[in-house]
Chains A and B, each alone.
Chain A
Amino acid sequence: MIAGRGRQRIRPPRRGLHGDEIDFESTWDIIQAAFREIHTKNASRLSYEELYRHAYRIVLKKKGEDLYKKVKEFEKQWLSGEVRSSIQLLLSPNLLADAQSVGGTTANERRVAGEKFLKGLKQAWGDHQVCMSMLADVLMYMDRVYCQDHRVPSIYTTAMVLFRDEILHSRTSAKDSRPLLDLLSHVILEQIQMERDGDVIDKHLIKSCVHMLDGLHADDLESENQRLYNVSFEQDYLNTSRVFYRGEAESMLRESDAGEYCRRARKRIHEEEDRCRATLLESTTPKIQKVVEEELIQNRIKELVEMESGVRFMIDNDRLDELNLIYDLNARVDTKKSEVTRAIQKRIVELGTEVNNDAIAASQAAPPPAPAADGGDKPKGQAQEKSLNLQTAAAIKWVEDVLVLKDKFDKVWRDSFQSDNLLQTAMTRSFADFINSATFPRSSEYISLFIDENMKKGIKGKTETEIDIMLEKAIILLRYVQDKDLFERYYKKHLCRRLLMNKSISNEVEKQMISKMKMELGNNFTMKLEAMFKDMTVSEELTSGFKKHVEGLGDRDPHRIELAINVLTSMTWPMDTIGGPGDNDEDRRPKCNFPPAVEKIKRGFEKYYSEKHSGRQLTWLPNMGTADVKAVFPRVLQKDGSFKERRHELNVSTYAMVILLLFNELPAGQHITFEEIQAQTNIPHSDLVRNLQSLAVAPKTRILVKEPMSKEIRPTDMFFFNEGFRAGFIRIKVGVVSSGNKVESDRERRETEKKNDDSRSHVVEAAIVRIMKQRKELGHQHLVSETISQLNGKFKPEVSLIKKRIEKLIEREYLERVEGGEISSYRYLA
């Protein structure tokens, strides 16, 4: 005790050190009275200093424990008496009845009753907190000295626990033994359910009660996972929510379409998020989110995606926002988005297969060559011709359809799938799947044809950007193509024709395309294509060089023939396409007998060439060439009545030129038979037939007259020079049937594929040898997979092909089997 004023008040001995017992009771009475005032909200006249001093003294007198117990007892009395009864007054009979069996009362009545109860509880809790913090302030010295020294919880904490025990754990009523806490959970759950059903509830009120539950612990250790909120409410909430959403998912699937389902599911998810924020605790957000996602998405996503109005419907009807919704939902439960991905992939392959089938159908829809029906007035060749044109159109349509499809899905990907990388990969795979589908082997050819068509016609009059877009499109498709080697083969073939026949509109664009492919597929891929361009340039130089050379020879021959020549490297150019001696059909094509004048200049060039490049052999390909021939037709009666000699410049194929020159030596009115022509020129039968068709059958270029007059060329036919030939123009181009780039016929394709497979064998062998040379020894599986990965950029080799090539290499003693190993493996033989 602090002594009073000055030294006068020195206490007598034998007092003071022990503190006086009598003081405690009276002091406690003062304190207790004050606490009562505080609890009845009447504290403003109380002196803090005085109360604090009383409590301080008690503690100083070592009566801290007694004080603590007294306060605790006091609070217990207060709670179990005043507070508990006031709360029990709030429990209206129907609230209690509802707690056991729902029914009887309306939702609104229940809501009001529930709110009344919650309000009362909130009020009691709030009061208790306020009062206890005031008490704790007054008892601060006790908390600091007694509670800390004796390791007992602060009075405030103890009082909060008392609230739990005396109020929340108390029986609901004399008849109802369930604790108030259960009723509280039930009421809150009911209120939340009302809100889910569209009612407006007092969120703030519930939040207050939730805070109370969060502030109290189920045990006395105050461990984090033992909060009343988590122990007695949260799990209930999650369970009832699960039941609710399971039911809702079912009814929504029944009643609404997929888009509507997504919208409502998303709304529910957001609602729950908001509910945790506004009504419950944010710590519940991930848990309830999981429940909702499991019930509304995870367990239903498959059904949802496959609904009639599901992903397929959304794609077909461009429901981009709904696709975005379903993507978003899927992404919530599955980082891989596998259901949506699967549906998208399926749809791509379906639509792609449709495009494939359309292309096949279109190419087959061409009138089948039916000689019986129209053989009489249409040559069979033309029917075929028409069918080929249709096929080309189908090819171009196919490319464009695929591009449209690609655009469509790109848009979906961008707008609905948030440019998701995983989905992009999946979609790319699906495009590759149908483009490389085993049932549709034409994609390489079609893409090449598409480029061919554009190079010849499509880009006419287009701006640079438009052309660039077109080229880019082709590249996009090319990316999907697995068998790049096959594409290369077709591209080479088509490019070759474009170059040799001057069909390309712009050399510049051709080169642009090559450089794009170079960027996309690498140097190796374009090397040979570039070599073709180089050959063309070299040939131009050769032509002009030869011209100069001839001029330098001296006397100028007025009948000298001008020669324009293309010298093609046989390894670079597709010889089979241009009719040169291929590997297999060497010398199949007989040499054509040129007229002497032509023969002379041919020899002249050969000499010139061999002087420049010794050791090279030139093979002439007359079937690819053209010739400009000046023809003089005798005077015949013109329309205006005059007789006039007519001069025409005929642009004909080399073969046609050779044929026509035969008639120079023929007296007027004489004829030559087909067999004679063949014997003299040595032109291959089919070529001869086609050339004669254009010269003697095609009405506009009928320079020869055939006897008998028919569309078919027969070996016995006789040919005359048509002296009465008329034409509107000076320059006449005599076309030869079948010279453009067309879709291959099935037979041609089989050939192409066979050739491709042959060259693949070499490539595979080369790869195997490369790998083995480096590794020396390697297991079978490893070798196969490494070979596949090496060739990935070119094509996907069949495993059987690799096996076969390994066998061959063993036969040829490049490799040997390693004996006695557990797994079969090979060794490289140097």
Chain B
Amino acid sequence: MTKQKRTPEDEAEIRRRRAQSQKDKARNQQQKEEEIIHRLADRITRVIQRLPPSATKPSSLIVPVGCSSISSQALIMEARSKKFMHDIAQVFDDAKYSDAKIVIHGVVLPVHKSVICTQSEYFQKAFQSAFVEGDLGILTFNEGSGAAYWRVFEYLYTVRYSDHLPKDFVNDSPLLKDPRMYSLADMFFLDDLKALSALKLKEKLQLEHLWTSDSFPDCVREVYSCTPNSDRGMRSAVVEVARAHTYQLGQKAMFRGLVGEGGDFAVDFIFPEPLDVPDDPPHTDQTEW
């Protein structure tokens, strides 16, 4: 907060006020987003804990009467953790305190090892090992979707990834964006990002009816090519939607072509697994069709 001083209003003051109102707007926007995030977070935890939605009433948050100090402590802690998250988000794409660089298709992103290495063992190893990355402090990604890589780092700093296109990467189509996030999350061992991206894709397909999109078959291909067999998070999302709309999809030549290709999707589409299978089922023989 900037303090309003009772000094004669000069232009600087006006400018400041304008900046302030802009900031306020931005903050409102941010608050909206945060609300969404909170809702999301709730769902994420539900997904992670694999609880039915009805069972997630936070009964453990009831504070006994007369323990106001405990509850105010809890409030302080909560505020503190919000502030902390905010502070970390502030240094995203900021060279300040940065001690390493990520180069994505030529775009340089200054990063902080303490932020990214603590979250992912991949970065930990990459910067620790006696390889060239550890030597120079530069990690280069020249393959795959640059936007997806960028969003991974955005997520590591801000706990979310945005829809708008960062920098001048070529954006991923809506139905490829989340599978690619999921795939990278899998590669970097970011389980919560996996859950988040799977959820987002599910919402897009189900709520926004994007399963009707012509790019749905490509989405399925992407999902099946970029996750290992044992990883059901994304795969079950697309299979579920496809099975729910078998008839409509069957009308589409593109979708029929997809099933005609055979492979794991075709198998899952025809022989769906029970809905509540664990994420990592015991080893089953890999079926190569």
Q: From residue B135, how far is it (CB to closest CB) to chain A in Å?
A: 5
**Residue A730 is within 8 A (CB to CB) of chain B in the complex:** no
Q: Which of the residues B125, B146, B263, B283 comes within 8 Å of A48, measured between beta carbons? A: B125
- CB-nearest residue of chain B relative to A53? B143
Are B176's CB and A13's CB within 8 A? no
B140–A59 CB distance below 8 A? no
Question: Whole-angstrom distance between the alpha carbons of A140 and B227 in the complex?
Answer: 16
| Contact indicator B133/A49 (Cβ below 8 Å) | yes
Q: Which residues of A contact B218 (CB under 8 A)?
A: 7, 10
Residues of A within 8 A of B126 (CB): 48-49, 52
B213-236: which residues lie under 8 A (CB-CB) from chain A?
A: 215, 218, 221-222, 224-231
Tell me the complex Cα distance, A18–B215, Å. Answer: 20
Output the least CB separation between B205 and chain A (Å): 18
- Name the segment of B64-72, B77-85, B165-173 touching the other chain: B165-173
Q: Which residues of B contact A5 (CB under 8 A)?
A: 105, 145-146, 170
Among A121-175, those with CB < 8 Å from B are: 134, 137-138, 140-141, 144-145, 148-151
B139 at interface, CB cutoff 8 A: yes
Given A6-B170, A16-B225, A60-B226: A52 and B122 interface contact (C-beta under 8 Å): yes
Instruction: Find A145's partner among B122, B230, B257, B263 (CB 8 Å cutoff).
Output: B230
Measured CB to CB, the closest approach of chain A to B197, in angstroms, equals: 14
Shortest distance in angstroms between B217's beta carbon and chain A's nearest beta carbon? 9
**Which residues on B sit within 8 Å (CB–CB) of A138?**
129
Structural contact, A44 and B130, CB atoms closer than 8 A: yes
CB pair A4–B286 under 8 Å, yes or no, is no
Chain B residues with Cβ below 8 Å from A44 are: 130-132, 135
- Whether A18 touches B288, Cβ cut-off 8 Å, given contacts A10-B218, A44-B135, A134-B130, is yes
Q: Report the bound CA distance from A45 to B265 in whole Å.
A: 40
- Complex formed: what's the CA distance from A62 to B288 in Å? 10
Is the CB–CB distance between B221 and A11 below 8 Å? Answer: yes
Find residues 113-160 in chain B having any chain A CB closer than 8 Å to their own CB.
121-122, 125-126, 128-135, 139-141, 143-146, 148
B240 at the interface (CB under 8 A from A): no
A148, B105: Cα distance in complex, Å: 33
Q: How far is the CB of A721 from chain B (nearest CB, A)?
A: 111
Interface residues of B in 154-210 (CB under 8 A from A): 170-173, 176, 180, 183-184, 187, 189
A47 interfacial by beta-carbon distance below 8 Å: yes
CA–CA, A714 to B262, complex, Å?
Answer: 150
Question: Smallest distance from the beta carbon of A12 to chain B beta carbons, Å?
Answer: 10
Q: How far is the CB of B83 from chain A (nearest CB, A)?
A: 34
CB <8 Å contact, A48 and B176: no
Instruction: Tell me the minimal C-beta distance from A762 to chain B in angstroms.
Output: 74
A49-70 Cβ-contact flags toward B at 8 Å (1 or 0): 1011100100110100000000
A1 in the interface, Cβ–Cβ < 8 Å?
yes
Whether the Cβ atoms of B221 and A2 lie closer than 8 Å is no
A46 within 8 A of partner (CB): yes
Q: In the bound complex, do residue A2 and residue B146 qualify as a contact, i.e. CB atoms below 8 Å apart?
A: no
Residue of A nearest to B146 (CB): A5
Given A2-B180, A6-B170, A140-B122, A13–B257 Cβ distance below 8 Å? yes
On chain B, the residues within 8 Å of A18 by CB distance are 263, 288
Q: Assess the A48–B261 pair: CB atoms within 8 A.
A: no
Instruction: Tell me, yes or no, whether B264 is within 8 Å of chain A by CB.
Output: yes
Interface residue range, chain B: 35 or more
Q: Given known contacts A3-B222, A10-B218, A134-B129, is B134 in contact with A62 (CB within 8 Å)? A: no
A47 contacts across to B, CB distance below 8 A: 131-133, 140
Task: Kindly state the separation between the CA atoms of A48 and B130 in the bound complex, as whole angstroms.
Answer: 9
Whether B144 and A6, one on each chain, are in contact in the complex, defined by CB atoms closer than 8 angstroms, is no
Q: Which residue of B is nearest A1, CB measured?
A: B225
**Cross-chain contact B144 with A2 (CB below 8 angstroms):** yes
Query: Which of A6, A51, A148 has most B Cβ within 10 Å?
Result: A6
Q: Counting CB contacts under 8 A, is B9 at the interface?
A: no
Q: Of B224, B228, B257, which one neighbours A59 at CB under 8 angstroms? A: B228
- Check if A17 sits within 8 Å of B131, measured CB to CB: no
- The interface residues of chain A lying within 8 Å CB-to-CB of B221 are 11, 16-17
Residues of chain B within 8 A of A14, CB atoms compared = 261
User: Does B10 interact with chain A (Cβ within 8 Å)?
Assistant: no
* Chain B nearest CB, measured from A154 CB (Å): 13
- CB of B276 within 8 Å of the partner chain: no
Residues of B within 8 A of A46 (CB): 131-132
Select B226's contact among A1, A10, A141, beta carbons within 8 Å: A1
Say whether B35 faces chain A, with CB atoms less than 8 Å apart: no
| Interface residue A218 (Cβ < 8 Å from any Cβ of B) | no
Q: Given A1-B226, A16-B221, A144-B189, do A43 and B280 touch, yes or no (CB 8 Å)?
A: no
Tell me the bound Cα distance from A3 to B171 in angstroms: 12
CB distance from B124 to the nearest CB of A (A): 9
Q: Are B133 and A48 neighbours in the complex by a CB distance under 8 Å?
A: yes
Residues of B within 8 A of A48 (CB): 125-126, 129, 131-134, 139
Contact call A7/B176, Cβ cutoff below 8 A: yes
Neighbour of A4 across the interface among B133, B145, B225, B258, CB < 8 A: B145
- Taken together as a complex, chains A and B put the C-alpha atoms of A7 and B176 apart, in Å, by 9
Closest Cβ neighbor of B149 among chain A residues: A2
Q: How far is the CA of A4 from the CA of B147 in the complex (A)?
A: 11
CA distance A661 to B265 in the complex (A): 146
B226 nearest CB across to chain A (Å) = 6
* A54-99 at interface with B (beta carbon < 8 Å): 56, 59-60, 62
B198 CB, min distance to chain A CBs, angstroms: 17
Q: Measured between C-beta atoms, what is the minimum distance from B276 to chain A in Å?
A: 19
B148: chain A residues at CB < 8 Å are 2
Could you tell me the distance between the alpha carbons of A150 and B280 in the complex, rounded to whole angstroms?
11
In the bound complex, how far is the Cα of B247 from the Cα of A382, in angstroms? 142
Give the distance to chain B from A48, nearest Cβ to Cβ, in Å: 4
Complex: A141 Cα to B186 Cα, angstroms: 9
| CB–CB A2/B122 < 8 A | no
Please determine whether B145 and A49 come into contact, CB atoms closer than 8 angstroms.
no
Q: How far apart sit A13 and B170, CA to CA, in the bound complex (Å)?
A: 23
Q: Is the beta-carbon distance between A6 and B135 smaller than 8 angstroms?
A: no
A17-B263 contact in complex given A44-B131, A47-B131, A134-B129, C-beta closer than 8 Å: yes
The answer to whether B140 touches A49 (Cβ under 8 A) is yes
Candidate in B129, B221, B230, B264 with the most chain A CB atoms within 10 angstroms: B129
A148 to B230, CA, bound (A): 10
CB <8 Å contact, B283 and A150: yes
Chain A neighbourhood of B226, CB < 8 A: 1-2, 60
Q: A15: shortest Cβ distance to chain B, in Å?
A: 9
The residues of A that contact B171 with a CB separation of less than 8 Å are: 6
Query: Which one of A17, A43, A60, A137 contacts B228 once the chains associate, using CB atoms below 8 Å?
Result: A60
Per-residue contact bits, chain A 586-606, to B (CB 8 Å; 1 contact, 0 not):
000000000000000000000
A174 to B145, CA, bound (A): 56
A41 nearest CB neighbor, chain B only: B130
Known contacts A13-B257, A52-B126, A62-B229; is A3 also within 8 Å of B176 by CB?
A: yes
Beyond A18-B263, A52-B122, whether A45 also contacts B225 by CB under 8 A is no
Complex interface: chain B residues within 8 A of A4 (CB) = 143-145
B143 touches A2 (CB 8 A): yes
Expressed in whole angstroms, the minimum distance between the Cβ of B22 and any Cβ of chain A is: 33
For B180, list chain A residues within 8 Å (CB).
2-3
Residues of A within 8 A of B176 (CB): 3, 7
Task: Chain B residues near A149: list those with CB within 8 A.
Answer: 228, 230, 280, 283
Nearest opposing residue in chain B for A146, CB measure: B228
Alpha-carbon distance between A134 and B121 when the two chains are bound, in angstroms? 13
Given contacts A5-B146, A6-B170, A140-B125, contact A43 B131 (CB under 8 A): yes
Query: In the complex, A17→B223 CA distance in Å?
Result: 10
Inter-chain contacts of B129 with A (CB < 8 A) = 43, 48, 134, 137-138
What are 5 A-B contacts with C-beta separation under 8 Å? A2-B148, A6-B171, A62-B286, A62-B288, A145-B228
Could you list 4 further interchain pairs (A-B, Cβ under 8 angstroms) beyond the known A10-B218, A46-B131?
A13-B261, A17-B264, A137-B125, A149-B283
A interface residues with partner B (beta carbon < 8 Å):
1-7, 10-11, 13-14, 16-18, 43-49, 51-53, 56, 59-60, 62, 134, 137-138, 140-141, 144-145, 148-151
Report the 5 A-B pairs with minimum CB-CB distance, sorted nearest first: A2-B144, A17-B263, A6-B170, A48-B131, A137-B125
